[in-house]
């Protein structure tokens, strides 16, 4: 007899789930990865069901992020997936308080008790199944293996999980420094938990009975453990239902009961298969019109190749170049006349040192006694470790290596673009020197490894995946943003019926657009110059190369060794540097045979920063330490380090704390955050003069951030703002009677500008703190609106705010002059100090870097010690605000309406008048206003022939990218001067 | 300041204006059509851009720093696309852009636009439409007469938008509401051109009657409020046709009018006076302006209430009271406290479903939207607020999914 069942179909970003219900009874439940073949996978599951229940009728409800399109097109009912989960939970666990569901690309929380609330991750949030997959790929393991590794961990590293790309930049250095994979695995899961707790819950407590749903949580025990441990749940309060992976499908099956018209599976199948793809995919032209086109293209690029020499017969000297990249390792051995003896390109499997050691052994054995390595050089993320471990002669910055290699193939080169696994590096060449460098910022990374991850996700090997794209008929336009966004674009394209071929070709052109428009920011192709050399492993992919040529509408040069250019450049560099007497320090054949090392971790006790150190002990007793921010960690004594205005300013600000009145009326807390980095002298003087004891919040650290993390409502606001929450907590801990933090639309008017605003975040962050930190109330948090340019108003507003303490307007008025003077005195001190430093630098013949940014970039947790990094390269550092007074505002093409920015423009103008100065701009990630200032400062500098260097910083501690930029800057300065 | 030599800044002189076509970006199609009608009376020839192809976004990405907010990217992208399309004589085309002069990035759009033009179209003049005295040489000369007309255009535009949204979801014969809207757009354009727009009461009533006459179903659909950054809130290009989407999902959209934003800007000097004892020459002018505008709004609300068929807009003074519960009116960058106030007002007056639209990474919205939703939720536990980010990479499916989740809640 025919029956009517309920069928729930959950089509997620990576999987298809179906659940069949007969009344309350679950008849079947299936979970399957769809590898982007969404429609096919759904159809297959339906066919299976159809075979089992040929004549029965089904009430069907579809759910899931990729299900919406199918439902719309086929006319089958659809329910929102979080709502489906909600229904399922109400049915099965009516006593649950919170549901946490992690899916392929979504993370969701449902709060059930105390006001139902459902939350999904924002469009810029990692911390999901796809993130874990990506990280597993990075470590070269399966998610299951990752899980098993994590269970064996002994320590955790902080990893950003905001988005996959960020995490990669945290993980890569750990890998390259030799941190244990087990620990990294566990840290990855912990990052997912942190992301969920801080990013999604945003201040609401996850407690009571918590239900964990979704694929990753059901299959990965280490992730479950991380959640349970972090949330401090016991077995009764952490529920992992057996049905977890299919819970949404179950929920939609439950809802299907309300569907009016049941149908047979056959009908449903027909509806789905006949559904027309909607025509809102945008497509572009095919990469190649014909096979002939392709052959012509291949022939053309064959022309750029090296000559080869047989390593098994060659006798003589050779030069070794190593590129220890973020995900891959490249080695080349060349003869003095540039012929290629040996090359190797492989994944570093997270252990670059092992791979390189192996390969050098191989080179030695192939070379026999005929070949002598005259000199060697290394570049890339693993540079320091490889150099120290294997005795490589030179370490050079990637940009220099790439330039060397590119000019070998094209001496007239104007522009080099290198897309590697993790980075895009582009540089313009002018007068035979690197003129400007464009690197991808942390957010838009995901270059070569990005297409690889997609290939894997879609079930292809990278080479095959690239190949099928070559002749795609209608490549999809996928936009040009970072990986996480791209996932959604791909999802949408699939939903709209794009084929894997079209997606492959579309991804290739996305990478290119990302590079051209986001990293290079070219307005027209002519900007790039005539002779363009492309390199990096990603360009070995013909589809990417072709997409690039099509976008530029011109032919470019791709050397056949595109993937080896860094290494080749190193070899050329080694050759250049080694004169006749030079003897290489590279480990000999015997030494390398016995070479071994042992990594261990330690915490540096040198200062309050407590850096996580990775200590590598080599078999000959040498040690290599990484993870340290300053010399101290590496066990090097400080010698004669020059002063800089960053530390000087920070010191001055901190010193105010010691000034206290005799009998304080009350204790006022001033948070060391945002605007206080500029106006502390003023407010401190006001309060102490009025008889208050001023307490400052603690020195920022990662822990400060964690303290307030749970009350941050917007996860895309800049890191300096996020830290403010921790500083408020710190003041409460320190027992301040009240916290004073004024809202200031207007900053100090320093003249010469159109207006003198603060940025919206600096101006109004106190409002946000008050609204989101339950610890604050009208008594302990005073945040008047002030415009300190207006003395009378300031006196009035402050006395009104401090009425409770009996402060009158006259009293305030009486101390204001002193406060204004103090602010001026503070500024003068910094300016004087800058002059001292400049004088000293000139005496020592050092170049001077003017570091521009915001006052709060003085905070050591925000600047991550970048000034130390700059100093370590032999440069002196002064801040922009300490020299801004020396110049007038130049003619600008923007509205100059923010005080802090006006200082930067003036500092930039000043730099253009000083031959021995260069400017480096610090930009906080998420600072929208700097989208305006960066281009303007660049224009001011470049017009007068100065280099522009921008460093983007956020909570991530890794200074890798900053280091490349700074070293390249130094190399460029040297080259320019050499000419 | 004249600016550097790097970026050319051609002006549109009075003699040129007859020959030039001025392109206007797409933000509020209903209002902008009326505004165009007015400015044409003063000898300008304007054209509203309504392109929404992918090329608009691509041009934006190419020509604007990618960390710039989405509205700038779209507006500039739309201009660049138009100039490159071959449809316009680039030697006889100028561009118009609005400028508020506040502390948010939006005041810099005009500069970013000029930078974008510098390479390929250095001859194209850019005209600023602003009330803050910025860009003196290249802004529209807003005489009191033009200003008054513009205000009327805003009032009529707001009413049309309000009524459209209250009828369209319920219309029985498809297309009725659009026809009525079109009829009134034409009629009002004519009235504004020929100075026949002063009898607002009469016109309001006529408009109300013609919308009332549209045959509509009686079912109750959930009303969904749309608040947020001004461009993303209104522009179908930016919000992926949010208004239409909500209607297709069986909801009644409610979008607060442009007059609120105008009043918000006008109240700025009032607030500065209150907060900072700041009194300038402009304060008095703005005080009067504010009073006049507010009276206009009161009148419109009164007519709608008396008419009895439709739900009137919020009273601006009431919005200010709502704001005070959660945030200081000193928060004046971007849409500032207005967003918070609108959310609160909606929740208070029974529109529990609220979509807060924002460009990804919008700075003021960190404070006034995401930053305030906790306190608003506390005050109205059943408020159903969802924040949607818009940017070139965010996909429609993702946005719609979020909205659907909210709607699922709404229908509970």
For an interface test with B, give the residue of A198, A489, A932, A944 to mutate (most B CBs within 10 A): A932
A889 within domain boundaries:
yes
Q: Which of A412-426, B208-222, B324-338 bottoms out in mean pLDDT, i.e. has the lowest?
A: A412-426
A393 within domain boundaries:
yes
Residue A114 has which token pair? Answer: 């105390």
Q: What is the pLDDT of residues A872-897, one digit of tens each?
A: 888 999 999 999 989 888 888 887 87
B275 within domain boundaries:
no
B334 within domain boundaries:
yes
Where among B138, B161, B176 does a domain terminate?
B138
Domain count, chain A: 6
Q: Which range in A136-140, A377-381, A438-442 is most confidently predicted, on average pLDDT?
A: A377-381
Minimum distance, in Å, between the CA of residue B107 and any CA atom of chain A: 7
Residues A714 and A734 in one domain: yes
User: Alpha carbon of A507 to those of A106, A167, A469: distances in Å?
Assistant: 21, 22, 9
pLDDT of residue B200 exceeding 90: no
Q: What is the pLDDT, as a whole number, of residue A31? A: 87
Q: What is the pLDDT of residues B261-308, one digit of tens each?
A: 989 988 888 888 888 887 877 788 888 889 989 999 999 999 999 999
Q: What is the pLDDT, as a whole number, of residue A958? A: 62
Q: What is the pLDDT, as a whole number, of residue A269? A: 84
Q: What is the pLDDT of residues A100-136, one digit of tens each?
A: 888 777 788 888 776 666 777 655 445 677 778 778 8
Domain count, chain B: 2
Q: What is the pLDDT, as a whole number, of residue A247? A: 87
Residues 6+ apart with CB under 8 A from B105: A928, A929, A931, A932, B68, B69, B72, B363
User: Cβ separation of B375 and A771 shorter than 8 Å?
Assistant: yes
- Of chain B, the percentage scoring pLDDT greater than 70 comes to 94
Does any CB of chain B come closer than 8 Å to the CB of residue A643?
no
**CA–CA separation, B374 vs B381, rounded Å?**
10
Sign of CA dihedral A160, A166, A167, A171: negative
Owning domain of residue A712: 647-825
Q: What CATH number corresponds to the domain at position A513?
A: 3.30.420.40
Residues A422 and A334 in one domain: no
Buried b or exposed e, range A709-734, using 16+ CB within 10 angstroms:
bbbbbbbbbbbbbbbbbbbbbbbbee
pLDDT of residue B168 exceeding 90: yes
Residues B246 and B106 in one domain: no
Minimum distance, in Å, between the CA of residue B355 and any CA atom of chain A: 14
A402 within domain boundaries:
yes
Query: Burial level of B148, CB count in 10 A (0-12/13-18/19+)?
Result: middle
- Of chain A, the percentage scoring pLDDT greater than 70 comes to 89
Residue B353 has which token pair? Answer: 């479903």
Residues B117 and B229 in one domain: no
Residues A218 and A268 in one domain: no
Residue A409 has which token pair? Answer: 């193939």
Residues A399 and A493 in one domain: no
- The mean pLDDT value for A137-154 works out to 87
User: Cβ separation of B4 and A758 shorter than 8 Å?
Assistant: no
Q: What CATH number corresponds to the domain at position B406?
A: 3.40.50
Helix axis angle, A81-92 relative to A247-256, nearest 10°?
Answer: 90
B155 within domain boundaries:
no
Residue B391, CA atoms < 13 Å, CB-side half-sphere: 21
The 8-class DSSP code of residue A562 comes to G
Where among A825, A850, A866 does a domain terminate?
A825
Residue A967 has which token pair? Answer: 């070293």
Residues A821 and A833 in one domain: no
- The mean pLDDT value for A447-468 works out to 77
User: Cβ separation of A792 and B108 shorter than 8 Å?
Assistant: no
Query: Burial level of B283, CB count in 10 A (0-12/13-18/19+)?
Result: middle
The tokens 């101390």 sit on which residue? A815
Residues B125 and B26 in one domain: yes
- The mean pLDDT value for B407-411 works out to 73
Does any CB of chain A come closer than 8 Å to the CB of residue B45?
no
Q: Output phi, psi for B333, to 5 deg.
A: -95, 145
Q: Which residues of A touch B390 (CB under 8 A)?
A: none
A594 within domain boundaries:
no
Does any CB of chain B come closer than 8 Å to the CB of residue A778?
no
User: Cβ separation of B1 and A489 shorter than 8 Å?
Assistant: no
SS3 A175: helix
Q: What is the pLDDT, as a whole number, of residue A124? A: 47
A708 within domain boundaries:
yes
Q: Per-residue confidence at A479, pLDDT binned at 50, 70, 90?
A: low
Q: What is the pLDDT, as a whole number, of residue A136? A: 83
Q: What is the pLDDT, as a whole number, of residue A634? A: 54
A283 within domain boundaries:
no
User: Cβ separation of B331 and A743 shorter than 8 Å?
Assistant: yes
- The mean pLDDT value for B71-80 works out to 91
SS3 A288: coil
Sign of CA dihedral B98, B99, B105, B109: positive
Query: Burial level of A671, CB count in 10 A (0-12/13-18/19+)?
Result: buried
A307 within domain boundaries:
no
**CA–CA separation, B58 vs A610, rounded Å?**
46
Do the beta carbons of residue B160 and residue B207 sit within 8 Å?
yes
Residues A819 and A673 in one domain: yes
A640 within domain boundaries:
no
Q: Which range in A24-28, A232-236, A422-426, A794-798 is most confidently predicted, on average pLDDT?
A: A794-798
* A160 compared with A855, residue with greater pLDDT: A855
pLDDT of residue A585 exceeding 80: yes
**CA–CA separation, A478 vs B60, rounded Å?**
15
SS3 B254: strand
The DSSP-derived string for B130-199 is -SS--SGGGB----HHHHHHHHHHHHHHHHHHHHHHHHGGGBSSTTHHHHHHHHHHHHHHHHHHTT----
Q: What is the pLDDT, as a whole number, of residue A630? A: 58
User: Alpha carbon of A113 to those of A94, A232, A244, B130: distances in Å?
Assistant: 10, 19, 20, 49
Residue B255 has which token pair? Answer: 């979008």
Q: What is the pLDDT, as a whole number, of residue A524? A: 65
Residues A210 and A151 in one domain: yes
Residues A258 and A200 in one domain: no
Q: What CATH number corresponds to the domain at position A865?
A: 3.40.50.11900
Does any CB of chain A come closer than 8 Å to the CB of residue B405?
yes
B298 within domain boundaries:
no
Q: What is the pLDDT, as a whole number, of residue A809? A: 92
B202 within domain boundaries:
no
Mean pLDDT score of chain A: 84
Q: Which residues of B touch A107 (CB under 8 A)?
A: none
**CA–CA separation, A197 vs A229, rounded Å?**
12
Does any CB of chain A come closer than 8 Å to the CB of residue B240?
no
Residues A368 and A224 in one domain: no
- The mean pLDDT value for B326-347 works out to 91
Mean pLDDT score of chain B: 87
| Chain A, chain B: beta-carbon pairs less than 8 Å apart | 233
Do the beta carbons of residue A559 and residue A307 sit within 8 Å?
no
pLDDT of residue B24 exceeding 80: yes
User: Cβ separation of A893 and B4 shorter than 8 Å?
Assistant: yes
Residues A945 and A881 in one domain: yes
pLDDT of residue A632 exceeding 60: no
- The mean pLDDT value for A581-586 works out to 88
Residues A437 and A472 in one domain: yes
Q: What is the pLDDT, as a whole number, of residue A738? A: 95
Q: What is the pLDDT of residues A637-693, one digit of tens each?
A: 455 568 888 899 999 999 998 988 888 999 999 999 999 999 999 999 999 999 999
pLDDT of residue A151 exceeding 70: yes
Q: What is the pLDDT of residues A483-541, one digit of tens each?
A: 555 666 776 677 677 788 888 888 888 888 777 776 776 666 677 788 899 988 788 88
The tokens 């948090």 sit on which residue? A781
Residues B243 and B366 in one domain: yes
- The mean pLDDT value for A254-277 works out to 81
Q: Per-residue confidence at A303, pLDDT binned at 50, 70, 90?
A: confident
Does any CB of chain B come closer than 8 Å to the CB of residue A717?
yes
B152 within domain boundaries:
no
Residues A974 and A834 in one domain: yes
Where among B99, B120, B138 does a domain terminate?
B138
Q: What is the pLDDT, as a whole number, of residue A69? A: 76
B180 within domain boundaries:
no
pLDDT of residue B101 exceeding 70: no
What ipTM did this prediction achieve? Answer: 0.91
**CA–CA separation, A252 vs A96, rounded Å?**
19
Q: What is the pLDDT, as a whole number, of residue A445? A: 46
Which stretches within A585-675 are classed as H helix?
589-593, 645-655
Owning domain of residue B324: 221-256+314-410
Where among B138, B173, B198 does a domain terminate?
B138
Do the beta carbons of residue A909 and residue A890 sit within 8 Å?
yes
Does any CB of chain B come closer than 8 Å to the CB of residue A68?
yes
- The mean pLDDT value for A453-482 works out to 77
pLDDT of residue A443 exceeding 60: no
Minimum distance, in Å, between the CA of residue B202 and any CA atom of chain A: 43
């Amino acid at each position: 007899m025919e029956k009517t069942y309920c069928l729930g179909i959950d089509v997620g970003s990576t999987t298809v789930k179906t659940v069949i219900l007969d009344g309350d009874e679950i008849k079947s439940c299936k979970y399957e990865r769809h590898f982007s073949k969404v429609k096919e996978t759904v159809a297959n599951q339906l066919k299976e069901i159809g075979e089992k229940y040929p004549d029965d009728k089904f009430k069907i409800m579809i759910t899931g992020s990729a299900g919406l399109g199918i439902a719309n097109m086929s006319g089958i009912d659809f329910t929102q997936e979080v709502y489906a989960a909600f229904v399922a939970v109400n049915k099965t666990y009516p006593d649950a308080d919170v549901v946490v569901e992690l899916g392929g690309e979504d993370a969701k929380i449902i709060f059930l008790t105390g006001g139902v609330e459902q939350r999904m991750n924002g469009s810029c949030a990692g911390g999901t199944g796809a993130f874990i997959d990506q990280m597993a790929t990075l470590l070269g393991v399966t998610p299951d293996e990752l899980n098993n590794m994590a269970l064996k961990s002994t320590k955790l590293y902080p990893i950003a999980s905001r988005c996959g790309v960020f995490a990669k930049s945290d993980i890569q250095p750990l890998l390259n420094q030799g941190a244990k994979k087990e620990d990294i695995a566990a840290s990855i899961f912990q990052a997912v938990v942190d992301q969920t707790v801080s990013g999604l819950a945003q201040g609401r407590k996850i407690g009571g009975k918590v239900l964990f749903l979704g694929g990753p949580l059901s299959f990965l025990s280490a992730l479950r453990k991380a959640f349970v441990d972090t949330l401090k749940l016991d077995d009764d309060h952490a529920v992992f239902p057996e049905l977890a992976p299919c819970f949404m499908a179950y929920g939609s099956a439950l809802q299907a009961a309300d569907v009016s018209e049941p149908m047979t599976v056959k009908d449903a199948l027909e509806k789905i298969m006949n559904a027309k793809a909607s025509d809102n995919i945008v497509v572009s032209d095919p990469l190649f019109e014909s096979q002939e086109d392709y052959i012509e293209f291949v022939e053309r690029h064959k022309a750029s190749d090296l000559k080869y020499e047989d390593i098994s017969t060659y006798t003589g000297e050779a030069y070794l170049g190593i590129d220890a990249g973020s995900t891959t390792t490249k080695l080349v051995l060349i003869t003095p006349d540039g012929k290629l003896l040996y090359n190797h390109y492989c994944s570093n499997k997270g252990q670059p040192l092992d791979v390189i050691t192996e390969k050098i052994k191989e080179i030695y054995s192939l070379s026999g006694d005929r070949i002598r390595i005259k000199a060697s050089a290394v570049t890339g993320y693993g540079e320091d470790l490889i150099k120290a471990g294997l005795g490589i002669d030179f370490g050079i910055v990637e940009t220099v290596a790439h330039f060397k290699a590119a000019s070998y193939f094209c001496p007239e080169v104007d522009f080099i673009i290198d897309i590697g696994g993790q980075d895009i590096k582009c540089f313009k060449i002018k007068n035979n020197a690197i003129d400007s460098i464009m690197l991808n910022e942390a957010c838009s990374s995901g270059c070569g490894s990005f297409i690889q991850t997609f290939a894997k996700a879609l079930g292809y090997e990278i080479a095959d995946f690239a190949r099928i794209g070559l002749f795609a008929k209608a490549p999809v336009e996928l936009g040009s943003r970072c990986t996480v966004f791209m996932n959604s674009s791909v999802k949408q394209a699939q939903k709209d019926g794009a084929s894997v071929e079209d997606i492959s070709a579309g991804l290739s052109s996305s990478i290119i657009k990302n590079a051209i428009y986001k990293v290079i920011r070219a307005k027209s192709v002519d900007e790039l110059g005539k002779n363009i050399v492309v390199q990096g492993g990603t360009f070995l992919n013909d589809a990417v190369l072709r997409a690039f040529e099509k976008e530029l509408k011109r032919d470019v040069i791709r050397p056949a060794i595109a993937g080896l250019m860094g290494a080749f450049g190193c070899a050329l560099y080694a050759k250049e540097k080694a004169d006749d007497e030079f003897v290489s320090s590279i480990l000999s054949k015997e030494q390398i045979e016995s070479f071994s090392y042992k990594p261990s971790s330690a915490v540096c006790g040198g200062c309050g920063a407590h850096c996580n150190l990775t200590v590598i002990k080599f078999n000959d007793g040498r040690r290599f330490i990484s993870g340290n921010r300053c010399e101290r960690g590496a066990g090097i004594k400080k010698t004669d380090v020059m002063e800089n205005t960053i530390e000087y300013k920070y010191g001055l600000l901190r010193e105010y704390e010691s000034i206290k009145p005799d009998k304080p009326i009350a204790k006022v807390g001033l948070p060391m955050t945002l605007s206080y980095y500029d106006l502390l002298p003023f407010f401190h003087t006001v309060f102490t003069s009025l008889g208050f004891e001023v307490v400052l919040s603690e020195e920022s650290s990662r822990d400060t951030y964690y303290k307030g993390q749970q009350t941050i409502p917007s996860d895309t606001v800049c890191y300096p703002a996020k830290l403010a929450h921790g500083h408020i907590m710190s003041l409460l801990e320190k027992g301040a009677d009240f916290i004073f933090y004024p809202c200031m639309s207007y900053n100090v008017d320093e003249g010469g500008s159109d207006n003198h605003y603060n940025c919206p975040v600096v101006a109004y962050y106190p409002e946000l703190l008050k609204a989101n930190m339950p610890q604050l109330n009208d008594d302990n948090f005073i945040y008047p609106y002030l415009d300190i340019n207006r003395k009378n108003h300031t006196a009035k507003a402050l006395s009104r705010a401090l009425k409770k303490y009996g402060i009158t307007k006259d009293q305030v008025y009486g101390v204001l002059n002193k406060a204004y003077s103090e602010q001026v005195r503070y500024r003068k001190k910094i300016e004087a100090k800058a002059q001292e430093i400049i004088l000293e630098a000139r005496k020592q013949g050092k170049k001077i870097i003017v570091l521009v940014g915001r006052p709060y970039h003085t905070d050591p947790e925000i600047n991550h010690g970048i000034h130390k990094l700059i100093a370590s390269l032999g440069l002196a550092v002064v801040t922009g605000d300490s020299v801004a007074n020396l110049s007038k505002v130049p003619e600008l093409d923007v509205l100059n309406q923010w005080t802090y920015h006006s200082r930067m423009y003036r500092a930039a103008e000043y730099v253009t008048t000083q031959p021995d100065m260069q400017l480096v701009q610090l930009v906080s990630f998420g600072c929208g206003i700097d989208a305006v200032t960066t281009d303007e400062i660049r224009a001011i500098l470049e017009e007068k022939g100065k280099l522009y260097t921008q460093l983007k910083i956020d909570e991530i501690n890794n200074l890798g990218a900053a280091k490349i930029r700074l070293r390249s800057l130094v190399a460029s300065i040297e080259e320019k001067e050499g000419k | 300041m004249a600016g550097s030599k790097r970026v050319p800044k051609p002006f549109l002189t009075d003699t040129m204006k007859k020959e030039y076509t001025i392109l206007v970006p797409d933000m509020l199609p209903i209002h902008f059509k009326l505004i165009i009608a007015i400015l044409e009376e003063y000898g300008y020839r304007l054209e509203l851009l309504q392109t929404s192809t992918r090329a608009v976004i691509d041009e934006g990405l190419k020509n604007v720093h990618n960390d710039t907010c989405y509205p700038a990217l779209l507006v500039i992208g739309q201009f660049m696309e138009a100039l490159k399309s071959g449809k316009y004589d680039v030697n006889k085309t100028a561009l118009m852009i609005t400028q508020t002069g506040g502390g948010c990035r939006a005041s810099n759009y005009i500069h970013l636009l000029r930078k974008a033009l510098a390479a390929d179209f250095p001859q194209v003049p850019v005209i600023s439409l602003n009330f803050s005295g910025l860009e003196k040489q290249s802004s529209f000369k807003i005489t009191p007469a033009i200003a008054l007309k513009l205000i009327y255009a805003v009032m009529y535009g707001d009413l049309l938008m309000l009524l459209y949204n209250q009828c369209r979801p319920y219309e029985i014969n498809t297309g009725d509401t659009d026809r009525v809207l079109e009829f009134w757009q034409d009629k009002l354009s004519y009235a504004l051109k020929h100075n026949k727009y002063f009898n607002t009461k009469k016109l309001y009533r006529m408009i109300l009657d013609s919308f009332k006459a549209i045959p509509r179903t009686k079912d109750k659909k959930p009303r969904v409020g749309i608040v947020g950054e001004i461009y993303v809130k209104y522009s179908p290009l930016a919000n992926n046709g949010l208004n239409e989407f909500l209607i297709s999902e069986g909801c009644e959209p409610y979008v607060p009018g442009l007059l609120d934003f105008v009043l918000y800007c006008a109240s700025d000097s009032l607030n500065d006076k209150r907060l900072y004892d700041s009194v300038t020459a402009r304060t008095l002018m703005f005080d009067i302006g504010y009073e006049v505008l507010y009276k206009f709004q009161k009148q419109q609300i009164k007519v709608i209430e008396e008419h009895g068929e439709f739900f009137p807009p919020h009273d601006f003074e009431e919005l200010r009271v709502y704001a005070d519960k959660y945030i200081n009116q000193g928060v004046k960058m971007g849409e500032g406290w207005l967003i918070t106030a609108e959310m609160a007002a909606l929740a208070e007056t029974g529109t529990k479903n609220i979509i807060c639209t924002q460009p990804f990474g919008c700075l003021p919205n960190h404070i006034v939207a995401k930053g305030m939703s906790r306190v608003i939720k506390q005050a109205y536990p059943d408020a159903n607020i969802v924040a949607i980010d818009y940017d070139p990479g965010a996909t429609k499916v993702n946005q719609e999914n979020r909205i659907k989740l909210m709607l699922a809640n709404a229908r509970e």
